[in-house]
A and B are shown apart, each in its own frame.
Chain A
Amino acid sequence: MAEFRMPSLGADMTRGTLVQWNVKPGDTVKRGDIIAIVGTEKADIEVEVYETGTVRKLIAKPGEKLPVGAPLAFIEVAGEAVPARMPEAVAAEEAAPAMPPVEAPAPALAPTPPGRVHASPLARKLAEELGIDLAKVQGTGPHGAIERHDVEQAAAAKSAIQAAAAPAGEGVSGMRRAIAAAMARSNREIPHYYLATQIDMAGALRWLEQSNLQRSMEKRVLPAAMLLKAVARALVEVPELNGYWVDDQLKRSSDIHLGVAVSLRTGGLMIPAIHSADKKSLEELMNELRDIITRTRAGRLRSSDITDSTITVTNLGDLGVETVFGVIYPPQVALVGFGKIVERPWAVQGMLGVRPVLTATLAADHRATDGRRGGQFLDALSTLLQKPEAL
């Protein structure tokens, strides 16, 4: 049984309209007979059959518009065994193998001769505006080229250092502008989502007080250090919150460098980083915390301190703030907030009691993670703080 299909009647023809049949079922036809008229954009064209035999069934009806290759009729070819039933429409022949796109060989960028800084024009313009020496900026663009956000970050750091060391007026405005640029960019680019949870700190504080008794006052550990340790450990369980959103994708960081928000007496904010917080003991964390806060407030921070934190932690408990909803520092993808530890009624197995309760919050970039992962992070944080001795 041969199929008479909508013929291709021209280079740019994809569909045709069956205008009329010149045959009916039962008619015999021979190769070359005109058995139908098909309408194309150009005109109605007489269409010949290529088989000799008997028309068995007309599938397409006059007026019907069909793509090229669509079956129009069945013809029993003379001298061919009649199959049991009509073959259904044969699928169009296999599509030509998809040609892989031929990309022009990407022209290689000229290698960087020493001494020459590679920075985009926009980065150069911004650097000039914010008084940044490009030679001191770490670029994250192609071949280490410096791009806008590299300059923004460097500006945020540089003017903060200036602010700490210099009189309030002039330095702060530079820092203010840099922070403004970063915050504006965060708001513009990062779709934030916010989560909060209450954590019973009774056990943790009690444990800390006990362990502090064995330490001299100089070595005393503040609750803030314990919270940083908990954050670092929780990030090990939910790594997607630790890294950067670059070139439209999450670039996870294998290291955990906690950016600690440190406010300055003269106004303004600095975020020095505690490097590899997950690999440090509570005492080591406390020492580093003391070190960077002291140096920040004394204006003796190094640029390496402030450029590569992978997540930011802010603690406004001292100022009486209970719940902090922070703004993420681009290109990071999360920010953890801690509020004031407050005495609260707290039910445990139906028994009402009073507990020191801490509100922990998470602001995260919805491009990188979803609420489920954010919730799992806060849950891990809370669980870890119930067993302080294991931190």
Chain B
Amino acid sequence: MNEASIRQAIADSLRGIAPEADLDHIAPDANLREALDIDSFDFLNFLIGLHSRLGVEIPESDYGKLTSMGDLVQYLLAK
């Protein structure tokens, strides 16, 4: 998996949740949830989207590592 496919998966997963979100303008270190205005429910669906697209397991204990876009991408790259 390279960064491009990860970003694509992120974009696709968000479409159903925050259709008007503009990923390009989200700063890498910005808090993802606030930037996208998504609540814990949307966030779970987002993770489920990533799981189905990237086949990646994301346990609740790792939620702390996914606060910003940058963290998310790094985390997924590491998987």
Chain B residues with CB under 8 A of A209: 60-61
**Count of chain A residues near B, Cβ 8 A:** 17
Give the residue name and chain of the B residue nearest to A266 (CB).
B20
B47 touches A217 (CB 8 A): yes
Q: Within residues 5 to 55 of chain B, which ones have a CB less than 8 A from any CB in chain A?
A: 18, 20, 33, 37, 39-41, 44, 47-48, 51
Partner of A222, one of B41, B51, B59, B61: B41
A265 touches B37 (CB 8 A): yes
A283, chain B: closest CB distance, angstroms: 14
What total count of A-B pairs have CB within 8 Å? 33
Partner of A218, one of B20, B40, B48, B58: B48
Q: Within residues 273 to 327 of chain A, which ones have a CB less than 8 A from any CB in chain B?
A: 289-290, 293, 317-319
A207, chain B: closest CB distance, angstroms: 12
B73, chain A: closest CB distance, angstroms: 19
Give the residue name and chain of the A residue nearest to B18 (CB).
A265
Indicate the size class of the contact surface on chain B. 10 to 19
A209→B61 CA distance, assembly (Å): 8
B39 touches A318 (CB 8 A): yes
A212 at the binding interface (Cβ < 8 Å): yes
A289→B51 CA distance, assembly (Å): 21
- Looking at chain A's contact residues, the main secondary structure is helix
Give the residue name and chain of the B residue nearest to A316 (CB).
B39
A317→B33 CA distance, assembly (Å): 13
Chain A residues with CB under 8 A of B60: 209, 212, 220
A222→B33 CA distance, assembly (Å): 16
A220 touches B44 (CB 8 A): yes
A202→B2 CA distance, assembly (Å): 38
Give the residue name and chain of the A residue nearest to B57 (CB).
A217
Chain B residues with CB under 8 A of A317: 40
> Taking beta carbons and an 8 Å cutoff, which residues of B are in contact with A?
18, 20, 33, 37, 39-41, 44, 47-48, 51, 57-61
Given contacts A212-B60, A289-B41, 12 further A-B contacts (CB under 8 A): A213-B59, A217-B48, A217-B58, A220-B48, A220-B60, A223-B40, A224-B40, A263-B39, A265-B37, A293-B41, A317-B40, A318-B33
